[in-house]
Structure 1
Amino acid sequence: MTISTVPFIIAHAGDRLEGTLYLPAGAPTAVVVTTGPLTSVKEQAAGVYAAAMARRGFAALAFDHRTFGASGGTPRQLEDPLGKASDIAAAVSALRLDERLAGKLVVGLGVCAGGGYMARAVADDPRLRAFAGIAGVYPAAAPDPAVIERGRRARERRLATGFVETIPAVAVDNGDVAMPLREAFEYYGTPRGAVPNYSNAFAVESYEHTAGFDAQEAAARLAVPFLLVHSDRALAPALARKFYATVAAPKSELWLDSAGQIDFYDEAGLIDPAADAAAALFQDAVG
């Protein structure tokens, strides 16, 4: 099986979103839209899973969300879960207009935070016909007022002065960072995962959007087949189980043995069984 990667442009909300479309050697079974972890870009986990799905006969799109990587949008490095769900809907629209993919059903795959983002996108958009969440993080709405206030102050300062306040996404000593996990630094902060398109930054005003984001509410609204892939050593397994229990649509689960969260991004021993299970789900969904 060979993979052809081609540029893919999405126009959304006045911004240009750039992606990579992975095409299998033969006619694709369906089209997979992927989305990845907090602050990530298309060359990281989303692209890894897009390539894995292409090897299994699917066309797959990995793209940079607004304000990240090669895509447009300001303020840069703004993490907005509902905005990212809106980007996914725009990607679906663009894919459905591509003549190479005419008549193919579109499905969604989300990794880490992207699992929660994709959950909202799938619950809101009936054009997405199945959903696989890989080591997904599915937060409930439990906002910390102090965190939201920090984000609000950063936004107001930007609007008044033009200054975008950022903190590192990761750091060797953690501290005031978006992802205070040693394993996150070992990926994003080293050549293991720090690709040239990635910026190690998180806009502080993102907290206005992320602190109160609710992915759990989407579980009861899912109306398409769902696959949960997770590990007891990955992030928030209790929330993953709660999300899964609430889903009333056809569902299946695969629990793997991981070292933590981040090895789902680049370890073949986790990626291959996760992608095999997703391929089986998507194949069944398209008939």
Structure 2
Amino acid sequence: MKRITVLVVASLLVLGQAHAQTKPRVKTDKTITSKEKVTTEHYTFQLSDKVTRQEVTFKNRYGITIAADLYLPKRRGNEPLAALVISGPFGAVKEQSSGLYANEMAARGFVTLAFDPSFTGESGGEVRNVASPDIYTEDFSAAVDYIGLVESVDRSRIGAIGICGLSGMALTAASSDTRIKAVATASMYDMSRSMSRSHKDGYTLEQRMQVMDYLSQQRWEDAENGHYALGLHEVPFDENGKMVKGKRVLPEALPKEADPVLAAFFDYYRTPRGFHPRSINSLTAWTATTPMAFFNFPMAANIEMISPRPIMLIAGENAHSRYYSEDVYKRASEPKELVLVPNADHVDLYDRTELIPFGKLASFFNDHLKTAKTDQAEKAKGNGSANGK
């Protein structure tokens, strides 16, 4: 049955060590609790007193080392727990939104892993600040590799959450990796569609060709200069139809009468609210030729293959990106659910805990990441009811 849910959110309650079986593994000397001050790393949120956090690393199938934070509920029984792998937004790091989501979901009983995609943050990979739709998708599966080896995790109960631009990679990973049993997105952005067609598919065919030629010629410049220039990953055109270039995702200072979308991003990445020195969006930009791969790699092209595993798409009612979630919802097979958060914009779902429907997310994953024992009990109960017992 199709479900489109509109949430009325007044307020949301913000609510031991694990050892995996392969190397490299958890750095136990970096365990942090909410009562301790973080002196060497800056996080944009407060760690829950129900959770511990540990730095971990693992490799993807390309041999790139991925840096992540493993969040574990302090109170857990002997039964292995469901787990979630989380990343995003595009150009953010694990100390920002993905870590906040991991922290909140761990406080609700899940083992969670927030990771930096390849070439960004503390993860490995050269050249820095380059994005790959293929490798970023692989990073989700590599995260599943890792978390499935953590002793306290039931590897048959793993889900994924993608935030903003990493949502497309989470969906794409789930379309081919059946170990991901359920997937949720928040403020989804389809980066392939955004880079190759612009916002709301606003590029004309001529403009698409201009961007492709610009990217192609930039490769000659990079080859001649011996280094990779920075540039805008979503290349805009001004009111005169001229291509706009730049070397920062966000400006140093917010211009007067700024576009509301720019102002929302600026308020998160460039202020103490969400600033992080390793975040591409906070200080710098992607390599100028980053969009080339996204022109060739449509995200979620096989989204119907996720079914019968469920999808939840969460978007702000007022988000400029809302249409991405709505379009994916139309394309996806059942079971699926679209959750629209009233009075929320795109960036609100990065960190506004009074708006982000964490209770809804927890219910979604609890319902769809059940143990075999729970499934059998529910089936038996259902059969009993059918027989009049």
Common topology (TM > 0.5): yes
- Secondary structure of the residue aligned to 1:94 is helix
User: How far apart are the structure 1 equivalents of 2:361 and 2:136?
Assistant: 21
Structure 1 counterpart of 2:311, one-letter code: F
Displacement after TM superposition at 1:195 (Å) = 1.5
Displacement after TM superposition at 1:236 (Å) = 2.6
Using a 3 Å threshold, how does the CA distance of structure 1 residues 213 and 187 change in structure 2: closer, same or farther? farther
Please identify the structure whose Cα radius of gyration is greater. 2
Match of 1:168 among 248, 251, 258: 248
Displacement after TM superposition at 1:182 (Å) = 2.2
Using a 3 Å threshold, how does the CA distance of structure 1 residues 212 and 58 change in structure 2: closer, same or farther? same
User: How far apart are the structure 2 equivalents of 1:41 and 1:249?
Assistant: 32
Unaligned stretches of 5+ in structure 2? 1-48, 198-207, 231-246, 256-260, 371-389
| Post-superposition CA distance 1:141-162 (Å, at most 9, x none) | 5552332333334444444543
User: How far apart are the structure 1 equivalents of 2:187 and 2:55?
Assistant: 27
| Residue of structure 1 in register with 2:238 after alignment | none
Match of 1:116 among 158, 168, 173: 168
Match of 1:22 among 55, 67, 71: 71
Structure 2 counterpart of 1:4, one-letter code: T
Q: How does 1:131-210 map to 2 (within 5 A)?
A: 131-138=183-190, 141=193, 142-143=196-197, 144-166=208-230, 167-171=247-251, 172=253, 181-199=262-280, 200=283, 201-210=285-294
- Identical residues among aligned pairs (%): 27
In 2, are the aligned partners of 1:139 and 1:239 still within 8 Å (CA)? no
| Residue of structure 1 in register with 2:323 after alignment | 238
Indicate whether 1:228 and 2:313 are aligned.
yes
| Residue of structure 2 in register with 1:11 after alignment | 59
| Residue of structure 2 in register with 1:268 after alignment | 353
- Secondary structure of the residue aligned to 1:30 is strand
| Residue of structure 1 in register with 2:299 after alignment | 215
User: How far apart are the structure 2 equivalents of 1:217 and 1:147?
Assistant: 23
Q: How many residues align?
A: 280
Normalising by the residue count of structure 1, what TM-score does the alignment of the two structures yield? 0.89
Using a 3 Å threshold, how does the CA distance of structure 1 residues 77 and 136 change in structure 2: closer, same or farther? same
In 1, are the aligned partners of 2:344 and 2:355 still within 8 Å (CA)? no
Using a 3 Å threshold, how does the CA distance of structure 1 residues 212 and 187 change in structure 2: closer, same or farther? farther
| Residue of structure 1 in register with 2:380 after alignment | none
Which stretch has the larger CA shift, 30-39 or 213-222?
Answer: 213-222
| Residue of structure 2 in register with 1:54 after alignment | 106
Using a 3 Å threshold, how does the CA distance of structure 1 residues 102 and 213 change in structure 2: closer, same or farther? same
Using a 3 Å threshold, how does the CA distance of structure 1 residues 277 and 155 change in structure 2: closer, same or farther? farther
Structure 2 counterpart of 1:193, one-letter code: G
User: How far apart are the structure 1 equivalents of 2:104 and 2:314?
Assistant: 15
| Residue of structure 1 in register with 2:18 after alignment | none
| Post-superposition CA distance 1:109-131 (Å, at most 9, x none) | 01111111111111121110001
Normalising by the residue count of structure 2, what TM-score does the alignment of the two structures yield? 0.67
- Secondary structure of the residue aligned to 1:89 is helix
| Residue of structure 1 in register with 2:87 after alignment | 35
| Structure 1 residue runs of 4 or more that deviate by more than 6 Å after TM superposition | none
Structure 2 counterpart of 1:120, one-letter code: T
- Secondary structure of the residue aligned to 2:68 is strand
| Residue of structure 1 in register with 2:40 after alignment | none
Using a 3 Å threshold, how does the CA distance of structure 1 residues 233 and 124 change in structure 2: closer, same or farther? same
User: How far apart are the structure 2 equivalents of 1:158 and 1:139?
Assistant: 23
